[in-house]
Structure 1
Amino acid sequence: MSFMINQYWGRAEYKVAVVDSQGRSGGLACLWCPAVLRCVDIFHNRNFIIVSGFLVQSGCRMNLVNVYAPIDAVSRRVVWSEILGFRNLMQGLWVMMGDFNDVRDASEHMNSEFVAANAEAFNQFILSAGLVEYNMGGGNFTYISDNGRKLSKLDRFLVCLGFRERWPNASVIALAREVSDHRPIVLSTTQSEFGHIPFRFFNSWFEYSGFLDYVLQKCGEFNFSGPEDLALAIKLRWLKNIIKTWLKVEKDSREGIYGGKKKWLEYIENMAEERMLEEDELAERMECRNYVAEFDRIKQLDLRQKSRAKWAIDGDENSGFFHLVINSNISTNRLNGLMIDGEWLTNPLSIKESLFEFFLHQFSEPMSDRPDMICPGIATISDSEAAMLENPSLWRKLKQLCGSVKGIGLLGQMGSISSSLKSVGRAPR
């Protein structure tokens, strides 16, 4: 294939099955993680790939079908018949996904011809295969024509009844359309809502004019009466919200200026192709270039920090690399589920409770009633002597004495320290 598949997957291990394209269309690729799916059979032809295997965690048989249906209606019906033959022969759960090039009813298309016979044949195939469909979020249509007028829902996930019974809370989301005329769609069986996303502080914020002064000013305005630990927690939460509000306004303003500078820079450089630029225009061009370069540099700083790649050379245009590292970190750190008492759980509430119980057991006091330590005759110092030892002036003197300890004079200096302690209080034993 003419591109590197690992750019879409990251650094984790994966397996792949492909059907080469013909010209600019028709290619198919299925990627899976061998730690999640143990593949045993692969079937493919021009219009679909079937990857059949077992889920490693549960041992459940799973059949995944990647479909790219032909445009011709007669050819599509042949494909439905071929897939239905595999469906009737093979056991296990079924998930069919891809571009089916058909709609199920008139509401799934706009400004294009609806052929009832094709929709009826498609629905009959779905019924015969015992498949159902999750409601799709994120959009009503997945395909848009080049002129932007014709829209259709051609891409979808179809699952068997057993799959939906096993994962009733699964969701299908249509993502943003970037380059392709089709929206990517995602089927997720994991409830990944584990609460608020942790607040991350980026070093680039210190380069925003007035940021540090603003934070220090707000810290000085905070007032709370209560336990110190509670005051610290509330102050950090309050400060986090203030910083996020300030940054949103600042970033929106900077991005607006950035877009304007880029357009103006392009306009000036287009003029340079037609005539000599004036001095003020050259100065404006330099100002725009400097602002755009500085904005891009700060964005690179955030990417480097997110990826934790400290060795990158400043000034390199490595956005793609950093995004790959970031995505790999996210994939590695994601908690998809836990094996608890021999059962694989993915519910966030169950996972939180299990983790809480684990750490509660690790850090709880095993003995509720420990014996007291009774040691009569131990020399102690008075409260006034203890307060004197905590006096900052004493510790400054100790620091000066300890700083002068060198080489063979160690014992003599320790004697001086002991004498100094005796002059302000009782020497510790």
Structure 2
Amino acid sequence: MIIAVYAPHDPRDKRMLWDYLAHVINQWQGEVVIMGDFNEVRVKSDRFGTNFNVLGANIFNSFINSTGLEEVHLGGSAFTWCHKSATKMSKLDRFFVSNNLLNIFPHISGITLDRFLSDHRPILLRESAHDYGPVPFRFFHHWIHLEGFNDFVTSTWNSAPSVDSNGMRNLAGKLKFLKAHIKIWIKDNKSETVSTIANLKKELNQLDAVIDKGTGTEVEAEKRMEVLAALRNIDHIHSMDLAQKAKIKWSIEGDENSNFFHGILNKKRNQMNIRGITIDGVWKEQPNDVKQEFLSHFQDRFAKPSERRANIDMRFPKTISEDQSQDLEREVSKQEIKTAVWGCGTDKSPGPDGFSFGFYYPHLCPVY
């Protein structure tokens, strides 16, 4: 069901409209797209040069939440309406879709177009995906539970070349070496897992056929339990993978077969997806343009400063004592390193090569 909206200005009339639309949408047994000029904003930053009506925004947001709608991210300009004097601007035009529609069209997005003589910008709904190249390396906690992974990491780490005298550069080099080999191992493991699942299901069907005939023995029954346990273990590891990607509490929010879960996962992907960037007032979507702009931005941020620098008076009226100075410069103990690492959550990362502390706990920390 597609609903086109041109909302009234009067707050009482708008509230009546939200109630009517909520009734229609909640009665509809299917997907919904609602779009148009809602004459209302959701947050204070959606307005410029005009007063923000907190009550009106709360009622509007309540309507959106009660109908299970998700707002489609708009690329391009931040505001869709502009007064002719250009002193007042607001984001009044939007797209909303039902949660399940994100499962069907995960790459759905919107974009604002040029206004020309109108005071409103047209908005375009579309599904588009851009390829920004290989994704960065990420360590997933469920890898630790894969059979053979711990032994593989240990052997690979011990065989990694150690050619740099600098300890930190040597660590980074070994992590880079390990990362490349983990990628290959995980890819091979996925292929083996697909084959293993097929074989286990085939064996389960054969065992069920024997048991259903009434000719099964305790041996077949025990074997069936072993096959089921193996399948459940594989399914549990897969669930851990999806749970980390979705960043939700698995035992509370449900399993990967629920519409809720897929809605959360696809909503996160939709929100984090980079659809384009404004460069000198012009919206650019081509991956090469976007990546080049990001590269230029951070090159400027981290470039070597100019020769003209501020002079700092190094004559400080208060200084630390000799004992404090020695305490700051002393060697860090293994116990201090362990305490610092153990105090971090599993989803935190110390920086190099995408490894999280979920990886460091069982693998690298014992090395110290």
In the superposition, the TM-score normalised over structure 2's length comes to: 0.52
Name the SS for the 1:326 alignment partner.
Answer: helix
> Which of 249, 260, 265 is residue 326 of structure 1 equivalent to?
265
Q: 2-side partners of 1:275 and 1:222: how far apart?
A: 56
Paired residue for 2:31?
Answer: 5
Is the Cα–Cα contact under 8 Å of residues 303 and 322 in structure 1 kept in the other structure?
no
Name the SS for the 1:283 alignment partner.
Answer: helix
Counterparts of residues 389-400 of structure 1 (less than 5 Å): 390=330
Question: Which structure's CA Rg is the greater one?
Answer: 1
Unpaired stretches in structure 1, ≥5 consecutive residues: 7-13, 17-30, 40-53, 61-91, 96-185, 397-429
Q: 2-side partners of 1:295 and 1:340: how far apart?
A: 47
Name the SS for the 2:307 alignment partner.
Answer: coil
Paired residue for 2:135?
Answer: 197
Is the Cα–Cα contact under 8 Å of residues 304 and 310 in structure 1 kept in the other structure?
yes
TM superposition outliers: structure 1 runs of 4+ over 6 Å: 36-39, 376-382
Name the SS for the 1:312 alignment partner.
Answer: helix
Q: Which deviates further from its counterpart, 204-213 or 265-274? A: 265-274
- CA apart distance, 1:225: 2.8
Q: 1-side partners of 2:284 and 2:231: how far apart?
A: 48
- CA apart distance, 1:249: 2.5
Question: Greater RCO between the two (CA within 8 Å, min separation 6)?
Answer: 2
> Which of 222, 240, 246 is residue 160 of structure 2 equivalent to?
222
Structure 1 residues 379 and 195, CA, compared in 2 at 3 Å: closer, same or farther?
Answer: same
Q: Deviations over 1:272-330 (max 9, x none)?
A: 33224112111111111111111111111111111001253498564543333222111
Q: Deviations over 1:245-296 (max 9, x none)?
A: 2222333223222211112212222333322411211111111111111111
2:34 is aligned with what amino acid? K
Paired residue for 2:18?
Answer: none
> Which of 200, 213, 218 is residue 261 of structure 1 equivalent to?
200
Structure 1 residues 282 and 325, CA, compared in 2 at 3 Å: closer, same or farther?
Answer: same
1:56 is aligned with what amino acid? T
Paired residue for 1:294?
Answer: 233
Paired residue for 2:315?
Answer: 375
Unpaired stretches in structure 2, ≥5 consecutive residues: 2-27, 36-69, 81-92, 95-109, 117-121, 337-368
> Which of 104, 109, 112 is residue 56 of structure 1 equivalent to?
112
- CA apart distance, 1:352: 2.0
Paired residue for 2:34?
Answer: 15
Paired residue for 1:239?
Answer: 178
Q: 2-side partners of 1:250 and 1:351: how far apart?
A: 34
Is the Cα–Cα contact under 8 Å of residues 143 and 149 in structure 2 kept in the other structure?
yes
Counterparts of residues 156-171 of structure 1 (less than 5 Å): none
Q: 1-side partners of 2:283 and 2:317: how far apart?
A: 59
Q: Deviations over 1:62-90 (max 9, x none)?
A: xxxxxxxxxxxxxxxxxxxxxxxxxxxxx
- CA apart distance, 1:336: 0.8
Structure 1 residues 58 and 337, CA, compared in 2 at 3 Å: closer, same or farther?
Answer: farther
- CA apart distance, 1:366: 5.5
Structure 1 residues 350 and 316, CA, compared in 2 at 3 Å: closer, same or farther?
Answer: closer
Paired residue for 2:287?
Answer: 348
Paired residue for 1:252?
Answer: 191
Q: 2-side partners of 1:355 and 1:240: how far apart?
A: 25
Q: 2-side partners of 1:251 and 1:55: how far apart?
A: 38
Q: Deviations over 1:109-152 (max 9, x none)?
A: xxxxxxxxxxxxxxxxxxxxxxxxxxxxxxxxxxxxxxxxxxxx
Structure 1 residues 238 and 15, CA, compared in 2 at 3 Å: closer, same or farther?
Answer: farther
Count of aligned pairs between the two proteins: 237
- CA apart distance, 1:234: 3.5
Q: Deviations over 1:192-227 (max 9, x none)?
A: 232321222111111122312321222222224345
Paired residue for 1:44?
Answer: none
Structure 1 residues 59 and 269, CA, compared in 2 at 3 Å: closer, same or farther?
Answer: farther
